[in-house]
Structure 1
Amino acid sequence: MRRILIADDEANMRWVLERTLSKAGYDVETAEDGQLALDQALAERPDLVLVDLKMPKLDGLSVLRKLKEHYPDLMIVMMTAHGSTASAIEAMKAGAHDYLMKPFDIEELLITISKAFEVERLREQVDYLKGEVQSNSWQLVGNSEAMQKVKHLVERVALTPATVLIQGESGTGKELVANAIHTLSPRVERPFIRVNCAALTETLLESELFGHEKGAFTGAHARKTGRFELAEGGTLFLDEIGELSLNVQAKLLRVLQERTFERVGGEKTIKVDVRIIAATNRDLIKETQEGCFREDLYYRLSVFPISIPPLRERQEDIPYLAEHFLKKLRNYGHSKKLGPGVLNQLMAYSWPGNVRELENVIERMVIISSGTVIGADGLAVIKTSSTKEKGPCPFVLPSEGVSLEKIEKSFLHQAMEQTGGNQSQAAKRLGLSRHAFLYRLEKYGIDPHWGI
């Protein structure tokens, strides 16, 4: 529920506005002068302030300017019976969202407030997307029977509101499939919001998903809008869903069942209309049997499962993918093609890193090759990549004076190198959970996307 602060020295006006906005579903507070309004807003940030221009103790423009110093993005609408073009321009320059002349129609007020919140929602989505690094490296390229089946499933489910579970190894293109479903759906004009469930701790992930209220925990200096709210009307893509803690799984189950939740530290129930698409490289059925994943959540997520085959099982797609990546690189200023024998080498390799690894190899081949045709010099890249298939080297006790930390860091680097940067496979080789593996990468300052 949105919280609105009304600041007006006229008691009748406060009463009318409070009654009207409360009936419209807003949480309303009032202040009888400018100083009181400022104090209330600074004590707890409202979502919107409706402030009169002429008030005792502190006028509306002063309230506006002081609030903008603390909350630059706060929506503020000015009201006045003493308006003029000059005061309207001054208020807008100071950061007011809009300006209402008294007496105004109630319908006009409600429309103004509704538009203000819509602007705020769109701004939050833009801010989020600016900070979100989204990869458009691949498309659903390929004519193999396996990929034709995936495309068919995408087209069928896109037109429905069904929850989708995408399964496949790392690097197979699960996010691209999720994006394709959203693009082909009636929700295409609404946001597509991605959350990497493995990249955040349990506390941070809960805050990212559901948002939090001011003071909910140390460092929560203001209310935060969660990604469920940012995705309103659109699609929320939960990548690496198998990494969720049981606590967050329980809360996600409730959202799937009831389409409602509360922000962290909040009591008000928020209702959302969001399509959920989840993805994992884990065997969730096995996870449920081992008690690591809730069985009821699994069945809620897998209403419509889509499995993406690894590249080694659809090698006939490699020529199409290679040409796609070469064409993409031509757009960056390169104009090269594969020489005789190179494509055969590409198709002979098993690609443990899947399509992501193929794209990286193509890019390195383009950079290394001196001519317009990728030949023997480019093949060296494939040979280097193929060494990553080998198992880890036998452990040899280091010479005296080498610290345990250096050994551990070396093992992390080797695991990343031998798996082509595949974090799940690297963690498995070291006998670690993915969370423990990522913790150690962070501990030693190793880029988790190193080698990818």
Structure 2
Amino acid sequence: MTLVSSPRTKILLLSEENPIASFILDVLSSVDYEVLFSEKVILHPHFVPMILIVNLESPFIQPDSIEKLQQFYTDSLLIGFSSQPLNSYPVLIQNTFTVFLDIEHLKLQLMSHILKLKEVYVYKKRFKESLKKLVGHSEPMQVLYKKIEQILPHKGTVLIQGASGVGKELVARAIASVQPHLVIVNCSAIPENLFESELFGHARGAFTGATGDRVGLFEEADNGALFLDEIGDMPLPMQTKLLRALQEGEIRRVGSNITKKVSVRLIAATNRNLKEEVLKGRFREDLFYRLNVIPIEIPPLKERLEDIEDLAPYFIKRYAPLGKSYSLSKEALKKLKEHDWPGNVRELENTIHRAISFTETPEIQSESIIIDSVLSKKNHDEKDKAWEKLNYKEFKEYQLEEERDYIRQKFLENGSSITKTAAAFGMLRTALHNRATRIGLHFRSIEKDNTSP
């Protein structure tokens, strides 16, 4: 076993000693790579190669050994070479190798294939890292993961659809993880009269206040990806200009007569049904088809309640104070699963955050799971919603009153001690006191009211 030392790209070469193996070692040693050469199949725990180069004619290379290599080096990319055609080997071997080269092409193209595979490897690592934020093991999520991975090599426009709070931006980030950079814009946050300037930029003097040239978001995203969130809120006149930019692959700044070519992968998202918007005349049909090249639908949380078992611990870990750990009781998990989550993952995240703020023990109990904004349709359809007829201002006051009642009750249960109540909530005494003051709750008044005859 021979090791050519280098701190860079790791490559494992499996072959018996022969002129082709020597040629490969000579080529790789001239580059700043770390190469391990072996004349037998090895599963090396301390040498994880980016690329495996395998001589398929070596007597120790069999279908079962290929399967072992694939299972052990899960992230590695495989190059196979042989003087025999690939279709002469078993199907397992045919389907395993990312690249197959005959001897002639090996001599001419080895380095170019290695360079391409290095890019693919980096992209795959970035993609796997981005998937860590998409949590869930349910079948709908597995289908989503597979679909995202399938579309990574393609450049078609992506349209992500799903209800508010399902994680459309996280999906967009996963898709764009293989791009050099990603620019994000929320269409609902841009005033209508500034849309064109925001997307395409403007030249100096284009309008009052344009004191200098400004690069637009399309130019900023050039050679990368642009994510247009809430594209259903884009005004109709701007939809026409966006369509032209997508069709022509070029933009022109406001106030300029110079066009510029841009290469941008566009990812759009909306919580609206764009087909219905088209029928109602609020969204251009031609733009819809231009965007809907690669459609992705994100399932709502109520259709994958089993994912709460993964999501809840994920959010608990995120929001737990430094040095503290929490878990969910069976009753608390059951309560979470009984809710239908109209606010989707975002609502679950906020609920877990609130539970951690108010829990009194390391194990979060069901009474700490406060779902006060929307009642579960499964169990409470027959009950009147206390906030149903409230306007937004009244609803916010209703929420504050619920929080005041909760803190008031816990304060009395802890012997009217701010220190003990804060400790039960897992927060500093000053933080609890400041929060109570901010929402109009005064602990002295609670004590006085409680001791009054």
Q: TM-score, normalised by structure 2?
A: 0.55
Report deviation, 1:219.
1.4
RMSD, aligned CA: 2.4
Instruction: Give yes or no for the alignment of 1:361 onto 2:363.
Output: no
| Aligned residues between the structures | 264
Give the gaps of 5 or more residues in structure 1: 1-135, 396-409, 420-452
Letter of the structure 2 residue corresponding to residue 281 of structure 1:
N
Letter of the structure 2 residue corresponding to residue 173 of structure 1:
G
Distance in structure 2 (CA, Å) of the matches to 1:321 and 1:251: 40
Report deviation, 1:255.
1.0
Alignment of 1:233-272 (within 5 A): 233-272=223-262
Alignment of 1:310-389 (within 5 A): 310-330=300-320, 332-379=322-369, 381-382=370-371, 384-387=372-375
Alignment of 1:22-171 (within 5 A): 139-171=133-165
Distance in structure 1 (CA, Å) of the matches to 2:243 and 2:386: 40
Structure 2 residue aligned with 1:209, among 199, 203, 209? 199
Amino-acid identity (%): 48
Report deviation, 1:290.
1.0
Report deviation, 1:385.
3.9
Write the deviation string for residues 241-285 of structure 1: whole angstroms up to 9, x where unpaired: 000111110000011101111111111101101000000000100
Question: Is the 1:172–1:311 Cα contact (8 Å) retained in structure 2?
Answer: yes
Distance in structure 2 (CA, Å) of the matches to 1:332 and 1:303: 45
Structure 2 residue aligned with 1:182, among 153, 172, 176? 176
Write the deviation string for residues 352-396 of structure 1: whole angstroms up to 9, x where unpaired: 1100110111011011002211114413x13x244487668576x
Report deviation, 1:139.
1.5
Question: Is the 1:154–1:181 Cα contact (8 Å) retained in structure 2?
Answer: yes
SS in 2 for 1:152: helix
SS in 1 for 2:241: helix
Question: Is the 1:238–1:279 Cα contact (8 Å) retained in structure 2?
Answer: yes
SS in 1 for 2:277: helix
Report deviation, 1:159.
1.4
Give the gaps of 5 or more residues in structure 2: 1-129, 378-383, 400-453
Alignment of 1:282-321 (within 5 A): 282-321=272-311
Letter of the structure 2 residue corresponding to residue 176 of structure 1:
L
SS in 1 for 2:189: coil
Instruction: Give yes or no for the alignment of 1:194 onto 2:184.
Output: yes
Structure exhibiting the larger radius of gyration computed from Cα positions: 2
| Partner residue, 2:167 | 173
Question: Is the 2:312–2:352 Cα contact (8 Å) retained in structure 1?
Answer: yes
Distance in structure 2 (CA, Å) of the matches to 1:196 and 1:260: 21
SS in 1 for 2:185: strand
SS in 2 for 1:218: coil
User: Relative to 1, partners in 2 of residues 1:217 and 1:416: Cα closer, same or farther, differing over 3 Å?
Assistant: farther
Question: Is the 2:338–2:376 Cα contact (8 Å) retained in structure 1?
Answer: no
Write the deviation string for residues 218-239 of structure 1: whole angstroms up to 9, x where unpaired: 2111111111111111100000
Letter of the structure 1 residue corresponding to residue 224 of structure 2:
G
Question: Is the 1:240–1:280 Cα contact (8 Å) retained in structure 2?
Answer: yes
Question: Is the 1:391–1:418 Cα contact (8 Å) retained in structure 2?
Answer: no
User: Relative to 1, partners in 2 of residues 1:418 and 1:263: Cα closer, same or farther, differing over 3 Å?
Assistant: farther
Question: Is the 1:138–1:173 Cα contact (8 Å) retained in structure 2?
Answer: no
Letter of the structure 1 residue corresponding to residue 134 of structure 2:
L
Letter of the structure 2 residue corresponding to residue 200 of structure 1:
I
User: Relative to 1, partners in 2 of residues 1:158 and 1:289: Cα closer, same or farther, differing over 3 Å?
Assistant: same
